[in-house]
Structure 1
Amino acid sequence: MPYMELRSITDGRAVCYAPHSHSQWSLGAITKGHSTFLCRGDQHTVTAGTLVVINPNWVHACNPIHDQPWAYLMLYIDTPWLTKLRYEAGLLTEPCWQDISTVTINDPRWYTGYRRMTECLMDAGRALLEKQSMVVEYLTALMCELADQDAEPLARAPRHFQELAAYLRDHSAEDVSLDTLCDHSGYSPGYLVRAFRLHFGLTPHAYLINCRIQRGQQELKRGRPIAEAAHSTGFSDQSHFQRTFKRLVAATPKQYRQSLLNQQIHTADGQ
């Protein structure tokens, strides 16, 4: 099931996220305690029994409250796969992603169904077909439930800022300077940084680092050694890559790669 990842955190006090975004659509369950959930500029307090919904590329962060214990399960679904699921279910008029306005779900039925699905995914003794079927069944039902809750899209960034974001994505492995971005856009440094954050939720530098980590995750999924992944994504050394990766992903590259290997082993055992 290469289109999804599942992360289990049993002690959220040890995990602190910087604001970041994912290319995937994410659905998480708070399984113990409570925490703060920052999404699209709004802060929510979420407690055990709450589901959180994060659209692709929405800047967010979830962190402990005054070192109080909390735990969660987070499912990351590849956006093209979920888009196809929604389209084939008749929930989209065209196979293009549409954001969902719901940020938190407090209905116990959906929480219970989520826990049942994730327990199945983490059980090495369950068959692959059973896992795939449960995921499709649950997500199709949830997408139908949320079908009329399309989010108001973020105001489309002006063309120059779209081009700057694309430039940062295309050159994320390079040492891009603010002077270069100003030369490309014609904007002053102060205006460029303020306006970029307004449109994308991150400064140009934070956006570039976020792109590097996303690329790093893809490199590790392809089986690249950590040192090679660090070099190919633009980090000066492996330790810098590891620190930044943990700050945004809440796992070291080694832990992330090992979790992917464990998923592959469980899938093979299930077959």
Structure 2
Amino acid sequence: MNTEHAAYQIANELGGLELLNAHYHKQNFSRHTHEGYTVGVIETGAQRFYRTGGNHVAPKHSIILVNADEVHNGCSATEDGWSYRAMYPVPAQFANINKELASNRGAPYFPNPVVYDPQLAELLRLTFTTLDTSDNRLLRESLVYSSLTQLMARHGRNYPCEHLGANAKPALALVKSFIDDHPAADISLEDLATLAGLSPYYLLKQFQHYYGLPPHAYQIQARVRLAKAKIKQGTRLLDVALDCGFHDQSHLNRHFKKTVGVTPGQFAKEIGRNFIQA
């Protein structure tokens, strides 16, 4: 099967849980980040991806785990592509679930990019199917909480002290915060260096060391995140592109698809058509 499709949905559970059901053949995700974790089950084929400084292959029935704000990419590891179901809980959602777990408070860290856990994979599949087909709030919420709690208990750890950005110098954190708060700003490396009180070369080198992407690539990710938020609010796509600092709609489309896996138009259509009422 060489066709591609990707359907985004948002479930009301946990205040809005993003879901993806996709089959890709030629899709090639650029190195990017998400504000949420990626928790995915490979249904067919195999996915090759970069995470935690190395390349990994996730075969059928395995679980992919990417931590929030962790740089990763993705492509097919087979000629026929790959399909998967995934959810993207943000750290605050994990932390809310994790309040009662005495052994691992707060948002978890998943050290292994690929895990083989048939029982948990089956529970995740059941959760995805139930969110697709059932309007029973008690059942839906019970499965979401159970699957994420088991995931944390069986495969989660506390964040290591060397976690990217955990010990970043205040000057670098200031630059990151500026890009997060003003993703559409037309700012130069010289401007950011002046803000941080560093040389442009040192800022470029150290920012990538601590955050996994150089400032210009990190800015693109911040712009894509802003674009997603504006699309969810119903903003026109042309206005989204211009408001988020992209040259035009084509520029937005290219970066959005390389990060999210669908075009902004597809994302807007799926969000409008498939918002899941709990």
The normalised TM-score by structure 2 is 0.87
Structure 2 contact 27–261 (Cα < 8 Å) conserved: yes
Pair 1:46-2:62 in alignment: no
Alignment partner, residue 144 of structure 1: 153
Letter in 1 for 2:112: T
User: Is the CA contact 2:91–2:107 (under 8 Å) kept in the aligned structure 1?
Assistant: yes
Equivalent pair of 1:31/1:49 in contact (CA under 8 Å): yes
Deviations 1:108-144 (A, max 9, x none): 1111111111111122x54343222211122122222
Cα distance, 1:213–1:14 mapped onto 2, change above 3 Å: same
- Structure 2 match to 1:252: 263
1:245 and 1:253 in contact (8 A); partners too: yes
| Distance in 1 between residues matched to 2:74 and 2:263, nearest whole Å | 18
Q: Secondary structure at the match of 2:145?
A: helix
Contact 2:42–2:63 (8 Å) recurs in 1:
yes
Match of residue 17 from structure 2: 4
What is the alpha-carbon distance in structure 2 between the residues aligned to residue 170 and residue 9 of structure 1? 31
Match for 1:111: what amino acid? A
Q: Percent identity?
A: 26
The reply on whether 1:109 has 2:119 as its aligned counterpart is yes
How many residue pairs match? The answer is: 262
For residues 132 and 259 of structure 1, the distance between their equivalents in structure 2, rounded to whole angstroms, comes to: 22
Matched, 1:190 2:198: no
Which runs of 5 or more residues in structure 1 are unaligned? Answer: none
CA distance in structure 2 between the partners assigned to 1:84 and 1:194 by the alignment: 35
For normalisation by structure 1, the TM-score amounts to 0.89
Compute the displacement of 1:18 (Å). 0.6
1:157 aligned to 2:165? Answer: no
Alignment deviations for residues 38-86 of structure 1 (CA, whole Å, 9 cap, x no partner): 1121211110011011111111111123644211112111321221111
Equivalent residues in 2 for 1:172-191 (5 A)? 172-191=183-202
- Aligned amino acid, residue 131 of structure 1: R
Q: Is the 8 A contact 1:25 1:76 kept in 2?
A: yes
Q: SS of the counterpart of 2:179?
A: helix
Aligned residues of 1:38 and 1:60 also touching (Cα < 8 A): yes
Aligned partner of 1:131 among 130, 134, 140: 140
Secondary structure at the counterpart of residue 30 of structure 1: strand
Q: CA RMSD in A?
A: 1.9
- Higher mean C-alpha displacement, 63-72 vs 102-111: 63-72
The offset of 1:20, in angstroms, is 0.6
Q: Which amino acid aligns with 1:100?
A: F
Q: Which amino acid aligns with 2:225?
A: Q
Asked if the contact 2:45/2:77 (under 8 Å) is kept, the reply is: no
39-48 vs 61-70, which deviates more? 61-70
